[in-house]
Structure 1
Amino acid sequence: MGYNPAGIDVFAEDWDALVILDACRYDEFVQRSTLPGRTEHRISRGSTSSEFIRGNFAGKTLHDVVYVSANGWYAKLEDDIGAAVHAFEFVERDTAGGLTSRPETVAAAAREAAERYPNKRLVVHFMQPHQPYLGPLGSRFDFSGDMIDTIRHSNVGHEEVLQAYRENLDLVLNDVEPLLDDLAGKIVVTADHGELLGERERPLPIRSYGHPEGVYVKELVSVPWHIYHNGDRQEIVAEQPVQGTEKIDFERVEQNLRDLGYRT
């Protein structure tokens, strides 16, 4: 199956804009978010972004959806999983973000897409709080592959990882909050999956970090489902795609995924 069958189908849920925070745990979101609205929680179909994409997009014709994303997994998997959206806009990494796209860059792309496609459901996929970390402490990390490699090469401990993750979450929340008032209708802020932040795996008493595939523990699949209403809901119309992923530079997509620590 390739994904968590106990998770929800996000496209069966009711929303006009779906804002995805990558690797955002439900408990950390609740502790740090001051977004207006109310927070519920859901179970994700993935413990990784690729599982989330397979579990929600596979076999679907979503001509009423525009997907703005700084995560390259949809572009990589679209043909293999038989997915289609009205438009997919890949937000490439920017100079200021180093190995990733900063949240303000993704927010700007979301505003442009909302203006260009006013009668479509909008999915906006931010990379944070996923590594690389961009905050004061996190920016000193040596990002090398997955989180275990990064921790080893950066010579940091558990408390430093936790603080760097929270810095990254705060950064993206700071850009999501004003975005909520620039999007219309029913807006949901959620995550594709969570993150292990030092939980100890049995039977070995070692701390685990990151988000391994196929591990459906609560820290990885329990995600926020934060609901905010902004004005009237718009009529959503399905139309033929304006473009596919064939116009995307797949070499850059592969590099995007490697920069994020994925083995592609």
Structure 2
Amino acid sequence: MTRLAFLFSLLPVALAFSDTFPIVAWTSHSSNVLSRLPSTHSADLFKTILLDEEICVHDAVIVVDQPGLHASDLRSLPSNSHIARSLNASTSSRQYPYVRHDGYSSSGDLISFAQSVSERCNTRLVSLMPGYGHASLDAGEKAVVVVSLPELSVEGYARKSNMLKHDELLESTLSTLPYSQHLTIYSTSVLPTHHKRQSPDSPPVLDLPSTSVAPPKGGILARYQLLTPGLILVLLIVVGVLLPIIYFGIQALASIQSPVRMDAPKGFNAADKKNQ
């Protein structure tokens, strides 16, 4: 019972960070908007960005929306991917792998955030769908650009392959934009069906340097989390519940004694039998 109680006490920890989604952001130039953001998770990231006095300084605020995006999808990208290179080359960047799905930072408010920035800065709001034509944009006219990437709805190798294709699609789309100074925010408007849990002090999504984080010594997978909380929970169940049950079951079977009785039948006399 002690082992079982200990196991159940760990369940809230494993489930504490459900309903989360990633946010990564970078700029083409040094930006106080990102530099002033906290280095760890916050429930009001979008609100903090929106209220920053320098949000309207950028030529463009680019909001990349990829439904179904999870931190593990970003970790699967190689170091030469567009997103990884953009974060690595940026003088101002932030990575938040597991943002809580509540308040203004909820993923459903991603488009609302873009609309709010457009209203505050009195700039044009432009929606782009890669592969479906290009909007007419003027480098001299500031804008908020929403780039809608295809949803990530498959799993396994197909998901990783789609992520690579979408990364290339994003690169080709952003390369057509005429803005020299821009802030790019990449997140999701639909929660992924497969949630992973991790503490708020988890390593960056792509393990790339930001303004307040020293660059890691390894590559893009240098800190890739192999033992996820879900796997740890399964191991705890096996060790804390199944193994004790098997152990006590074997002990119970071993303690059952059913010896074959060799008692002589009534009236039997060994001496008489010998004389015969």
TM-score class normalised by the smaller sequence? 0.3 to 0.5
Q: Which has the higher helix share?
A: 2
TM-score, normalization: structure 2?
0.39
TM-score, normalization: structure 1?
0.41
Q: Which has the higher strand share?
A: 1
Greater gyration radius: 2
